[in-house]
Every structure is written in C-alpha cells, then in structure tokens.
Amino acid sequence: AVYEDEHLLVVSKPSGLLTVPGRSASLQDCAVSRLRARYPDATGPLVVHRLDMDTSGLMVVALGAEAHRNLSRQFHERETQKKYIALLDGVWCQESGVIDLPFRLDVDNRPIQIYDEIHGKMGITHWQKLAIEGQFTRIEFTPITGRTHQLRLHAYHEKGLGIPIVGDPFYGRGTGPGQMKLHACELAFTHPMT
C-alpha cells in the first residue's frame, strides 16, 4: 500500500494484473483477490474504480461500506482528479492540448473501443508533452471523463494523437500483458470519513 488507514488504502497495481477477477479460472488472480487475502476483515466490495489490466498505478480501495459509498460517489460525480504518464510509440511534436472524441464498445470485437460520432459517448482528455526520448514521446494525460480504454484510444486514434502507447496489445504493437507503458501516477480525492 502507498497509503493506508482504517478506512481506505491506496495501492499501486502492476501492469498485467486484472483489477477484478475475469470469467475463466485462469483469470482469478487479481488486485481484489490479493487484497481480500491481505485484509480479510474488510467489508464491502473494496474496489471503488478500476484500471485496465495493462495499466499500472494508483488505485483507491475502500475497507468499509460507508467509505466505499462516499468514494464511489466522488468518482461518479467526477470530483476526483487523476493523472497518467504514458510513453507513446513515436515522436509527437505539439506541446499540449485537449482530445474530445466520441467512442463506444466494438460489440463484435470486445473489449476494443471504436470512434463513433453517432452512437459514441464523449471522452475528454487534457494532455501535455513532457519529453521526447529517442523515438518515443512521454506524455502526461489528465482525463476529464473516465471511459474504458479512453487514454489508449485517445493516444492511438488519428483524431487524437495518432500514436499508440508503447506496448499496448489492443491499439499498438504490444504482444502480451504487462508491456504497456501507461501509469496512473496521481490520484486526488476527499477522504470519505475525515
């Protein structure tokens, strides 16, 4: 745990680990099962928000039902703030900007998300270039909305940055779990009890 008190934890999830169990028996190892084993007295569902399996970084976990309700409301009402650092698989020259793209699940190719001006829901991300590192670009993403694969789609799509995140197995050249260079580095919220 990065932070721990009687009401909540902030943990750093590694890339390649699911947040919650998958459907098959081989996908039962996840952040929640590890936390349940370590905190057997915790009540409630623990998980307040999720990170994609391939995304690493900070997650807040509620240890009780009241804390879970409060934190879940904060995420739902967009009262939290999150920042991510990504390494893009190419050189991006602009300094900063905002991406707002409507997208939705590709029902024939789950869990892939696709750009859709008609049926998509808007995803909004602020971004700032931090550095060019050889053939890669380090970017800071600040998502305003919190949609599935939002930062991944905003990075790779031609109407976004047009460059996938290094190691992304869905939208880039990644070949397996644990390779993607997207890290949730900052998480701000109001303590649910104090």
Which residues have a catalytic role annotated? 52
Task: With H, G, I as helix, E, B as strand and everything else as coil, classify residue 75.
Answer: helix
Task: With H, G, I as helix, E, B as strand and everything else as coil, classify residue 13.
Answer: strand
User: How, if at all, do strands 56-62 and 182-188 pair?
Assistant: parallel
Q: How far is CA 136 from CA 29, 88, 152, 186, in A?
A: 32, 6, 15, 22
Tell me how far the alpha carbon of residue 130 is from its chain's centroid: 19
Joined together, the tokens standing for residue 59 give 């997650």
Joined together, the tokens standing for residue 72 give 């879940």
